[in-house]
Amino acid sequence: MSKVGLEWTTPSKKINAQSDLVYFKKSVGYRKLFKTLTLVISKVTNVQLPGEILDPEITTRKKPVSKRSLPSPSAIVESEPKNKLQKNHQVRSFNGILEILSQLNKLIDDTPPLAGPRRFGNMACRDWHDKVIARINNLFDEYLELPQKTDKEGLYSELGSYLLNSFGSKIRLDYGTGHELSFLAFLGGLFELKILPVDLLSGVDILTIFAKYYDLVRRLIIDYNLEPAGSHGVWGLDDHFHLIYILGAAQFNGDKSAPPVSQVLTSQVISTYKSTNLYVNAIAFIYKIKSGPFNEHSPIIYDIHASVVLWSKVLQGLFRMYEVEVFGKFPVVQHFYFGNVLYTWRDSETNRELPITSGDELLEEDDSPGFLNGYQGVNTTRSNISMTGAPWANKPARAIPPTHGHIGRK
């Protein structure tokens, strides 16, 4: 495909029904996502993060430290500057991406959660989203090096939509593996457009980008109480993430100094590796937000560590699971949108446009009243997961049946 005269478009919804998953698997969009995923895995295999990239505060509980306990290694790391970036990477856009993520992080400081306990996701998160939407093109302008002779606006709207979607749903105030996938898509777009020439990036570079992304998202989850998108309760791998475990397992894959799989849930391994390995870091985050026996609140992860021995098997298993639980699940990928240049709804073999299941009434479902969280937060809890939504909630608008005049307004 030539890069000259690209017809950019704002990505739109193409997966409207369960049956569209067959087309999805054939699409250029899917092939590209898959390619990016395998590329990223190979880049980060047997690579560890430098200790100062991840923010230890994100994964450590804020509790009055008991007098008995000694200062933990994480407390020592904490005193170092948080945003110690590689200032002079040869790829300018690499620093640029980190800078953008850091700016978005600062926007959270500028958009404090609304006071008082709230039942649903904090409404301030919608303000944060609005600020990001308003600023994103300027940030791209300032920090990214674009290919020459590009229709900048078009590129921004197609590529940018994947970044915007990677911070969770502004409407439903939730975050899940679909949003995580969207960030992978954004990164894949940067690779494809050579804004980030992948050959010039090391595994550490890629891990650094993900680390900053995950720290940002988890700050959003905590500060704004984002709900797990479509939670299977304890019977999902994790309330919010999946890719992070794949990346972390790849990091340990082939690493002779990696901890034994069976030991990963112990405090020793957690404190030793949570700043250098994304898998351990993700588990530290679970320990932070959940209380109670680990085997109850996270039985799948618990079982992995009770029954799998090799990191290569962990990686393989998580990857297979990703194909089934993320790429293979309509509720997840229905929110993945397709554009005209990057992730297209075209047959990857014939390059023909794939069919679209007619579903005019479903097209705007993201904005219809079928979301889980209402517009008003109701005074109830510290965390979320509050309300079960009907799985058929994306149906066309419902009406209130007539009440035969029994109910009168005052």
Site for other proteins in 124-183 (CB under 8 A): none
CB of 55 to other proteins, least distance (A): 14
**Residue whose C-alpha is closest to residue 369's, from 333, 335, 402, 395:** 395
CB of 313 to other proteins, least distance (A): 5
Residue nearer to other proteins on the CB measure, 118 or 212: 118
Site string for other proteins, 218-257 (x = CB under 8 A): ------------xxxxxxx--x------------------
CB of 119 to other proteins, least distance (A): 7
Nearer to other proteins, 114 or 306 (CB): 306
The answer to whether residue 116 forms part of the interface with other proteins (CB under 8 A) is no
Interacting stretch for other proteins, rule CB under 8 A, among 11-19, 99-107, 353-361, 375-383?
Answer: 375-383
The reply to whether 281 sits near other proteins by the rule CB under 8 A is no
Burial class (CB in 10 A: 0-12, 13-18, 19+), 155: buried
Q: Which of 10, 42, 138, 267 binds other proteins (CB under 8 A)?
A: 267
User: 57 or 347, CB closer to other proteins?
Assistant: 57
Give the sign of the dihedral formed by CA 237, CA 243, CA 246, CA 252. Answer: negative
Applying the rule CB under 8 A, the residues between 20 and 59 that interact with other proteins are 59
Q: Of these, 270, 333, 341, 342, which contacts other proteins (CB under 8 A)?
A: 270
- Token pair of 17, please? 């029904």
Question: Considering the rule CB under 8 A, would residue 114 count as an interface residue with other proteins?
Answer: no
Q: What angle is formed at CA 28 by the lines to CA 352 and CA 156, rounded to 5 degrees?
A: 105
Residue 331 CB, nearest approach to other proteins (Å): 8
For position 284 contacting other proteins by CB under 8 A, the verdict is yes
Can you tell me which of 19, 42, 90, 268 binds other proteins, judged by CB under 8 A? 268
Contact 96, 349 (CB under 8 A): no
- Our finding on whether 72 is near other proteins (CB under 8 A) is yes
Number of residues that make up the chain: 410
First-last CA distance in the chain: 65
DSSP letter assigned to residue 262: G
Tokens representing residue 205 in the block: 């570079």
Amino acid identity of residue 115, one-letter, is: A
Positions 351 through 370 that interact with other proteins (CB under 8 A): 369-370
Q: Is the Cβ–Cβ distance between 357 and 20 less than 8 Å?
A: yes
Beta partners for residue 346, in sequence order: 353
Minimum Å gap between C-beta 395 and other proteins is 8
61 binds other proteins (CB under 8 A): yes
Per DSSP bridges, beta strands 12-13 and 337-338 are: antiparallel
Torsion sign, CA atoms 35, 38, 44, 45? negative
Residues 295-334 that bind other proteins (CB under 8 A): 295-297, 299-300, 302-304, 306-308, 313-314, 316-318, 320-321, 324
Q: Which is nearer to other proteins, 120 or 162 (CB)?
A: 120
Question: Residue 3: CB partners within 8 Å, gap ≥ 6?
Answer: 147, 193
Question: Can residue 79 be called a binding residue for other proteins (CB under 8 A)?
Answer: no
CB of 201 or CB of 269, closer to other proteins: 269
- Of residues 25, 37, 39, the one with CA closest to residue 348: 25
Separation of alpha carbons 137 and 97, rounded Å: 13
- 371 contacts other proteins (rule: CB under 8 A): yes
Q: 168 or 188, CB closer to other proteins?
A: 168
Q: Are 79 and 278 in contact (CB under 8 A)?
A: no
Q: Which is nearer to other proteins, 85 or 289 (CB)?
A: 289
Residues in the interface with other proteins (CB under 8 A) total 94
DSSP 354-410: PP----GGGTTGGGSTTSSS-SS--S--SS----PPPTTTTSSPP-PPP-TT-S---
Under the binding rule (CB under 8 A), the answer on residue 1 touching other proteins is no
Q: Is 380 in the site for other proteins (CB under 8 A)?
A: yes
Token pair in block for residue 129: 């989203």
Per CB under 8 A, the list member of 5, 68, 350, 352 interacting with other proteins is 68
